[in-house]
Structure 1
Amino acid sequence: VVDELGLEGVSCVHARAEEGARNKKYREQFDLAVSRAVARLPILCEYCLPFVKRGGHFLALKGRAYAEEVEEAAKAIKVMGGSKTEMREVHLPGLDDKRAIITVTKTMPTPKVYPRKAGTPAKNPL
């Protein structure tokens, strides 16, 4: 995708979020982290926001219940150092359902205890 779009200055990291975000090389180093709809928003915030530096953003593609997920994620967003949250409805070609891109702005550092070990956020979300 990076080559196809002709992007420069882009770093792609392939790692489990729980491990990669504990690596000083990656922790709070990125302007932007993105995710598609693979988990509930509180869990995604715990996995993605530790990678984002202050002033950066986390973007998540969410389905029709996106507003409820943003409410559900309020605590996780705050704990992970996020603050301002924006919702922008989008229409994906070939799909009739309602979707949105959720943008979380990171304003504070993420506590070092996050993300928790694999499986914990899903079993016990913030």
Structure 2
Amino acid sequence: MADAALRDLKGAPNPLFGGVHVLFVGDWLQQVPVAGCPAFAVPNPGRDVSKMKPTDAKKYLDRVRGNTVYNGVNYVVILDENMRHRKDRQWRDILNRWRAGNYLQADIDNVNTVCFRNK
């Protein structure tokens, strides 16, 4: 885990990531994990622990650590313009709808015409 390694390398056991500035990059509106929970989700000890096997303790502790790191973020920059697909308005609009969970049948049909071919 990067946090533990940086604490050790910097000789700073208390601050997150050994006090080193860390930049997290990603699309916070992307789909949730297919299995399990996002790292920032608050673990529910009563519910989560009751269903755990002894081998799941590490997963639970990782979720606690993930939530701690998420809550330690103190500065956020939001990029709100998709520069990668700025020249393809149709595809950009589809991606913007999908990342917000708005799936239109017309979009699905459009993507299927490009991705799937009848043989």
- How does the TM-score come out when normalised to structure 2? 0.26
- How does the TM-score come out when normalised to structure 1? 0.25
- Higher strand share goes to which structure? 1
- Higher helix share goes to which structure? 2
Larger radius of gyration: 2
